[in-house]
Structure 1
Amino acid sequence: MKKLLDYLITSKTRIKLLLKFFLNAEARGYLRSLAEEFGESTNAVRVELNRLTEAGLLEAKNEGRTKVYRANRGHALFEDLHNIVKKYIGIDQLIEEVLRKLGNVELALITGDYAKGIDSGIIDLVIVGGVDKGYLQGLVEKVEELIHRKIRTLVLNGEEFEKLREKFEQDKALVVWSKKREGQR
């Protein structure tokens, strides 16, 4: 999937913007901060922001003298782009290969850079529940080879998670799996 997206979208800046805004729909950014985050010129980022905004994929809102961008959740392609970005990163494989085989997983969250839409190469995965940590490590190593990214895991029990819940909410952690949601399917 990674190579395919690189062939379909030749602008590296556009790919970075899609990752930023469509991996976590809560992500927001403005021109200068995005240029700094991506290590790109403000002009390169501006051109791509304008294109994505004109296409209706991003929304722009003035906050004082700063124009702030975010994904347009109402766009017909929002869910499709969100799923493509997850596949590009490899989160779909991570969920399939690791979480479903671990046992008593109540909740799984992506935190850190990926939750902010930054493809840093390290995925921070928080798992809530009782799991075999040795088995988890073996699965993580296999998935890392598949998705070409490192995975850092943190396993918490329910009580530990409750103590940290507020921090995860403030950091806009991305829920990638929930036992409650799976049970509803």
Structure 2
Amino acid sequence: MNGKTDQPGPLARILSSQVRAEVFRLLFGLSESEFHSREIQRRSGLAFGTVRQDLKKLEQIGLVKARRAGNRVYYRADRGHPLYKDIHSLVLKTAGLAEVLKRSLSVDGVQVAFVFGSVAQGKEGAESDVDLMVIGDLGRFELSAHVA
């Protein structure tokens, strides 16, 4: 699924960067997965060079961690960074939980997905988690690669 749109969303307008907004959406959204730089480029629909450059900047300032495996570099959000919770919250508020879930779960094998619990009831607090039911043919490991 290509996350690129003609009009920049609220996060891109806040950050003044569509590239940074897409990187944040993928790394600071719901997934705790790490992504190869080409996967980030593919999912965002943006130019590889600009995605790679932005990832390097985010690694330098400590917002993302990089893991090298051979000639590949995998990136993930640094959940221990002091700004992680704020950026995560900003991504969910600007992209919207429904949009983040839709993008994360638009994969073969997912038939139905829905949120339940405090978030579904509109009673969530700052420390609430998201209770998610997924019905389909994906195993737990495969599903966790898309949503954590």
How many residues align structurally? 121
1:1-185 superposed matches below 5 A: 2-3=9-10, 5-91=11-97, 113-114=103-104, 125-127=113-115, 167-168=139-140, 170-172=142-144, 174=147
Q: Any gaps of 5 or more consecutive residues in structure 1?
A: 95-109, 117-123, 130-135, 137-153, 176-185
Q: Judging by fraction of residues, say which structure has more strand.
A: 1
User: How many Å separate the matches in 2 of 1:6 and 1:47?
Assistant: 17
User: How many Å separate the matches in 2 of 1:115 and 1:70?
Assistant: 18
C-alpha RMSD of the superposition: 3.5
User: How many Å separate the matches in 1 of 2:116 and 2:86?
Assistant: 28
User: How many Å separate the matches in 2 of 1:50 and 1:23?
Assistant: 19
SS at 2:25 equivalent: helix
SS at 1:171 equivalent: helix
Deviations 1:6-27 (A, max 9, x none): 3321110110000000002412
Q: Any gaps of 5 or more consecutive residues in structure 2?
A: 1-8, 107-111, 121-131
User: How many Å separate the matches in 1 of 2:140 and 2:88?
Assistant: 21
Residues 19 and 85 of structure 1 are in contact (CA less than 8 Å); yes or no, is this contact kept in structure 2?
yes
Q: Percent identity?
A: 24
Larger Rg: 1
Q: Judging by fraction of residues, say which structure has more helix.
A: 1
State the TM-score, normalized to the length of structure 2: 0.65
